[in-house]
């Protein structure tokens, strides 16, 4: 990996993008990575396993029995994790790092403890039926537990969306002023307005180049394979209307509370 130094060490906290799969996290990742001050790699994923060292009682107990306090375990885990991202940002000549891995929704509280709460979060949510429609084509195995008992895939996908966003809302309540929630539809329909507010929240200067996110070089990794199709932000909503009306209504009834919570009534 190159070792070019950043423009200057950043005093600003790292950024995590949180959201259910197929909600626009890959788009938001490339937008952040297009900014001159932020390096956001493809999905890192490894923090899920690192978090389990703290979350699995038997794993943590082994370290406690060695004489380490919980706070020491978390501190060392955080330093270990951050070192990879800091080196990555340095290699890109940028002072600040970010990460997007949808699976981190399930361990966000532990990640926050590891990094001592010195983190900012961008959450992103998308219409549940559009997410379910997309997950029927790309689910990467995440729906398997929801398919047990012969549950049809669209219903399983909607339930997964509902559960992931319940976790997202719960964590938003914990992170409070360090968390900004975005709607995919707002981002794609009014990109400059929404992104100006997002970069203001992150205390980063506005750069119009982020609207042409694919004009900047990005490292390839695990992300939405469709993300390379457009150079600019394109509105893409309503695919669920291809489904039969009866199926749409059943899914709306299943996700009613969460759909209403995000203004998708």
pLDDT tens track for 60-102: 999 999 999 999 999 999 999 999 999 999 999 999 999 999 9
Q: Residue 52: which pLDDT band, with cuts at 50, 70 and 90?
A: very high
The fold adopted by the segment(s) 15-261 is Rossmann fold (3.40.50)
Quick check: 3 pLDDT over 50?
no
% the chain with pLDDT above 90: 78
Cα–Cα dist 247/56, whole Å = 39
Closest CA to 143 of 166, 169, 163: 163
pLDDT in tens, 118-127: 999 999 999 9
Give the pLDDT score at 8.
44
Q: Which residue has the tokens 């290699």?
A: 91
Is there a contact between 34 and 143 (Cβ–Cβ < 8 Å)? no
Residues 6+ apart with CB under 8 A from 245: none
265 against 123, higher pLDDT: 123
Is there a contact between 245 and 149 (Cβ–Cβ < 8 Å)? no
Indicate the average pLDDT of the chain. 90
Extended strands (E) in 48-148: 96-100, 120-125
pLDDT in tens, 178-190: 999 999 999 999 9
Q: Residue 2: which pLDDT band, with cuts at 50, 70 and 90?
A: very low
Query: Does the predicted model carry a pTM greater than 0.85?
Result: yes
% the chain with pLDDT above 70: 90
């Amino acid at each position: 990996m190159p070792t070019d130094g950043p423009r200057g060490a950043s005093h600003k906290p790292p950024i995590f993008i949180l959201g259910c799969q197929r909600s626009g996290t890959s788009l938001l990742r490339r937008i952040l990575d297009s900014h001159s001050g932020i390096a956001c790699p493809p999905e890192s994923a490894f923090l899920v396993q690192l978090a389990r060292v703290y979350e699995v009682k038997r794993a943590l107990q082994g370290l406690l029995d060695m004489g380490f306090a919980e706070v020491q375990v978390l501190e060392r885990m955080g330093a270990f994790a951050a070192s990879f991202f800091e080196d990555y940002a340095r290699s890109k000549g940028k002072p600040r790092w970010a990460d997007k891995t949808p699976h981190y929704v399930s361990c966000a509280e532990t990640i926050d403890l590891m990094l001592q709460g010195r983190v900012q979060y961008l959450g992103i949510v998308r219409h549940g039926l559009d997410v379910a429609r997309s997950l029927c084509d790309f689910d990467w195995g995440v729906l398997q537990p929801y398919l047990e008992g012969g549950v049809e895939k669209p219903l399983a996908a909607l339930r997964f969306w509902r559960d992931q966003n319940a976790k997202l809302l719960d964590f938003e309540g914990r992170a409070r002023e360090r968390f900004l929630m975005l709607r995919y539809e707002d981002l794609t329909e009014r990109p400059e307005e929404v992104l100006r507010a997002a970069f203001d929240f992150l205390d980063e200067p506005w750069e119009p180049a982020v609207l042409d996110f694919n004009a900047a070089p990005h490292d390839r990794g695990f992300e939405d394979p469709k993300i390379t199709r457009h150079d600019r932000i394109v509105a893409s909503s309503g695919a669920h209307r291809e489904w039969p009306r009866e199926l749409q209504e059943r899914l709306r009834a299943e996700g009613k509370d969460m759909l209403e919570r995000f203004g998708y009534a």
